[in-house]
Each structure stands twice: as structure tokens, then as C-alpha cells.
Amino acid sequence: MPSRLQGQSFDKTEMGRDELQQANHPYDYPRDMDLKPLSGFHQQLLERILRRARDSREVIQRRFDSWGKIDETLQSFIPASEKEQEVKDADSRKPVSIVIPISYANMKTLLTFWNAAFLSQPPVFKYRAVDPSDTVKALLLEAVVQFQQERAKMALALNTQWRDGFSYGMGIIAPVWETKHWKRTSTVRETFTSRQTGLPLEGPGFERRKHAVRYEGNRLDSINPYMYLPDPNVPIDQVQRGEYVGWLYRTNRFELLNQEIDGTGWFNAKYLSAIDGRSSLSRDLEGKDTSDNFSSVYKQAGGPVRRSDNLSDVIYMYVNLIPQEWKLGPEATPQKWFFAVAGDQVILKAQPLGLDHNMFPVVVNAPDFDGYSVAPVSMLETIYGMQEIVDFLMNSHIANVRKAVNDMIVYDPLMINTKDIKSPTPGKLIRSRRAGFGRDLRGSIFQLPVTDVTANHIPNLSYVSGVMRQIVGATDTLQGMAQQRGERVSAREAGAIIGSSVSRGQQGARITGIMAMQDLGYMLASHTQQMMSIDQYVQIVGRTEDELRDEFGLTSDVMVSPFDISVNFDVQPLDPTIPGAESVQTWLTVLQIMGQSEQLLAQYDVNRILQHIARLEGAHNLSDFRLKVQPTEQVMADVQAGNLVPAGEVV
């Protein structure tokens, strides 16, 4: 029996068929393929792409319910029940049920650690040359990629990937090469030769607008896990072994028209005005639009945003295929192709990927993967049940307190005026009825005793929260909070505690470095070598600065050409050691021992050890204070020119 999702997709292709049939826009399609919408070849290729997208969607959507619950734990506000809404309407100051954001706090703690591990010591991606003679080229490639990382603000996409990994069990990004053009206006003076004197003269200035490349380099696109379309036949950590991988991206037809105008291989965008651009894949089995599920801002807004008639859901899909079998070309060996489909009806792009690294340009981070699952259980899912306990303990306590602060009174309505008792004003006067005149009314009214059965909920809440932190590794020490273990804690004991906490965090960071960051670093460098077309200045920073200055005499700002980075390289494994994780005292002891041994001084670079100690303490610019020693030849030349004089001759 076909799923409801498949039924929706089939019905969707029937919508706008008449409009597509009547529309006629001339296009020169690549490889002489007939990709006019509704043509036989177009529909055959379209069905191949949609079938893979549906297969993936049917697997990934099973996680939506769990992900939706995780989204609620990452915000303190939850929709109030009807009864609680009545309480809030009566008195807006009274508290109602909330989510205690402990899961959110744990996630932020680990995110802080990941940022310190990967981003605190540039360059983020480190490369080494396969041939030792190409060391300079590898270091320059490292500097260019670091420049792109800063210019394209890749840290934002990396944070999104890590956050999604903690929340949903997977975080996905796609490295994309982009070229930004601009028109630069400059004033130019025309020169001519005087007929009388024969000397060159300058004429009046005029403005000239020049079309130039403003920036070219890598950028990182974040992929919403709700919209991810992996091959369900391979585990989450083995994307490159799959037959295909893709995702759904919501945009508008004007952006797609602009891409078509840029001449980057896009076509058929003019046909989008004839169809409903939304995809059936953006709906779950209940028919609810899931394209905004990941956004807590959307949920807090209380409803859907205004829908535009120009929305377009585009399926981006990379497929490893044999062109001959797909009738895409004569090639009989596997190739990776890129396809784009809008609104489940119109193919917008179909071309070989053509990347030198021959990998799907998709990087997945799954820090809690099990090695087998397509969509593994996330870290926050493992503590979701305990998060519910924490919310129950707090909300039941709030409900009990709210009930306790309201007087529960038993009274005789024949003796006491009911209206006066209901009055909420303090210091009120309660009148008796005529039957109570002259009588002792203390027996006609009394308050029921109130027992707080939730008195232990707050201590229990603290205990459960501590267990949650231990499970995910967001311990008090990692959060910067020191537990009291006695009157005094020795330095060795404190160091052991900190080291254990950091080691727990480093385990997950090391998995991320191997699974995601290493592949990402390779793709960024390969894209740069393949597609960089203009020379650009880069700033030499970090370890690259020390090596290039000390060993090769290069300055801090270097002009790099595509030829300068043509090198066979390897990506160095990322070290997730954060500043402060190593013992500075140990390194100082080592340095002291070395200072007493001429043999050790001859074998080790004391200057580099000193710089390492400074970085551990947070001082990353020690090289700025190094004395500038000029070569002897340069000094003698300056003396002869009068630029330098002996110190004794200075008056």
C-alpha cells in the first residue's frame, strides 16, 4: 500500500499540468537533452530523482515526533492548557507550566567546549605537504582557507552543525564555492602629449565603472535536518558510500531566475510561474507543513507565517550514476551528478558534479552515532525522559503553591455574606447576614489546613539535573562551577578533576573532528585549488606565521596566486585540546630542567616551547614582541647609506 506521502507527491504532479503544457520558453539544454517540462525524457528523469527523495523521506520523517519534543525542551515557554490560560487571564502575574531549560543549558555548555576546541586557535584547518619540498605551498593553502573561513563567517554554520548534532543526532553542512561580483566606480585622468612642448599633460578626470570580482571562495550552507534526504541504505557517518544524498531547500522563484541569469547552468526557471512551487516532501504524513518545524521562533510566534505565491521548494540531490544507463551521456563508468527539482515538477539543473575530490559536497556530524543507524538518537533524546521529570517536579510545585496561596475557606452562607468573602482586596470587611447578628461567628467560617506535598520537589529537581549533566558530560567543572570537596583542594586534585572533565568533552569533539571537520577541511582546500582564479592577499597568523617567518622569511601579508597553492596535501587530524587543558606548571618544570642541560637545549627549540606555554595561558601574540634582527649584509648597507651609525657615535 503506498504511503500517504507518495499519494501526495503523485497528486502534486497533476497540479499545474495544463499551465505547464501551454507554457513555452526556449532553452538550450546541456548535452542536447530534452528537459522541457512534461517531455518524455524530462518526466523519466524527474521520476528517478523523486523516487529517491521519497525513499529517504519515509525513513527520516520517523524521527520528526522525537525532534519536535526536543524543540520544546530547548525553550522555556510552552503553550498553556485551557485551565492555566484561565488562571493567566484572571491574574497575569501568576505562574503557569514552564519547561526548565536544563537540556538547553547542557547543549550550550558542550557548544562552548566545541568552540574552544576547534575555533580558539587559528588556523582551523591545518594542512601538510606530501612532498617536504612543498611545505611553503601547503602553509599558503592553509592561510587562504583560513582567510575564507573568516570572510565567509564559517563559524556560524559550524555552530549550527554542532547544535543540530546535539539536538537531532545529526548536523549537516554543504561547502559551496561562490564568486561575488561588484561594480567599482573609480576616477580616471586621461593623459595626452602637448604639441608645443612635447611633455605629457593630464586632462580632466572622469568616472569609470569596472565590473570585478569582489570575493571568491568557499562558504558553508547549513542544511535543516528536517529537510535532509540521505541514502537510507548507509549509516549516517558513511555519506560518501551512499548512492545519493540531498536536501530540500525553500527559496523563491526570483532567486532561481537570478541564478539562471548568472549563467551557472540553471534553466527552466521561467516555467515556475505556472506551478505551485511547494513540494509534497515538505509535508509529513498528517499533511502538516514541516519546513518550519526546526524553528523555535516559528513556534513561539504562535502560527504560520504568510505564504507567498512565489515560494519554491527545491530538491538538491547528488547522485552517483552511470550516464549511459540514465541516458545522460555515453559514459559507462560511475559519475557524480547534481540535480535540482522545483515543486516536484520542474528540473532546474542536471550536470556532472565535476569536483576534483570526487566526493559528495556534504559533511555530516553525528557525535552520538552508533555506526549503523541512518538517523541516530541524539544526546538530548537520551535525557528527554529526565527532562520531563524535571518539568513535572517544578510545574507540580508551582501548581501546589498557586493553590496554597489561594484561601480555601469553609463558611455558612446563612451567616456570612458570600460577596464579601469572594472579594480579593486585602484588609477587607466581611459582613454577617441578619441571622448572625449578635452571635459568635467563629464557628461559621474556618480555613482548611494546607499541606505542601511538593516540598521535596526542588531538592529532587537539583539531583535529577545533576544526573542529566553527568550523562551528557556537561559537568559542573566544564561549566566553570567548582564543587566544594573539603576545606582545601590541592592543585594536583583540582588538575585531575579538570582533566577528567575536559577528557570527557574531548571524546565527542574528537569524533566530530574525524567524522566532519577532516572531510570538510579536505573539501575546502580542494575547492580552492580547483576554482581559485585570482590572486589575493592573505594574512599569516598562528602557527603558520611562526613557520613562514622563521623558516622562509615571509612577511605577515602575502600575495597568493593559484600557482602558489598547487600542492599535493593531506589534512592534519584536528586536535580538540582546548586552552587550559594542559598543565602550564608541568611545561614550566620541563623548561626549567632543559635550562640546566646543554644537551637538551641543543635538541629542543626553547623559543617554541615558550610560545606554547604563552598560548596555554591565553597569550597568542608573543611573536609580536620578538626582536627584529636584520641580516649582516642589510646592516652594512644601511651603515654605508647613513641610515645606521654605531651606538658610540650617537650624540
Residue 625, pLDDT score: 62
How many CA atoms lie within 13 Å of 114's alpha carbon, on the beta-carbon side?
A: 29
What was the pLDDT predicted at 518? 93
The DSSP result for 371-424, as a single string, is: SS-SSPPPHHHHTHHHHHHHHHHHHHHHHHHHHHTS--EEE-TTTB-HHHHH--
| pLDDT at res. 494 | 45
pLDDT for res 290: 54
Is residue 236 exposed (0-12), middle (13-18) or buried (19+ Cβ within 10 Å)?
A: buried
Q: What is the pLDDT of residue 94?
A: 64
Alpha-carbon distance values, 635 to 553, 554, 556, 651 (Å) = 17, 19, 22, 20
Q: Count CB atoms within 10 A of the CB of residue 558.
A: 19
| Cα 578 to Cα 502: distance, rounded to the nearest angstrom | 8
What confidence score (pLDDT) does residue 464 get? Answer: 77
Rounded CA separation 438/445 (Å): 16
Q: Angle of helix 102-119 relative to helix 64-73, nearest 10 degrees?
A: 90
pLDDT of residue 179: 86
Q: Supply the pTM of this predicted model.
A: 0.76
Q: Report the distance separating Cα 614 and Cα 618, nearest Å.
A: 6
Residue 105's pLDDT is 80
| Residue ranges of the chain with per-residue pLDDT less than 70 | 1-16, 76-98, 183-190, 192, 194, 201-211, 283-308, 404-407, 424, 426-427, 471, 473-505, 540-556, 575-583, 615-639, 641-651
Report whether 243 contacts 319 (CB < 8 A): yes
Q: Write the DSSP assignment of 151-193 as a string of letters.
A: HTTHHHHHHHHHHHHHHHS-EEEEEEEEEEEEEEEEEEEEEEE
If you write DSSP's letter for every residue of 268-285 in order, what string do you get?
Answer: -GGGGGGS----GGGB-T
Tell me what pLDDT residue 85 has. 67
pLDDT at 496: 46
Q: List pLDDT tens digits, range 205-226.
A: 666 666 677 789 999 999 999 9
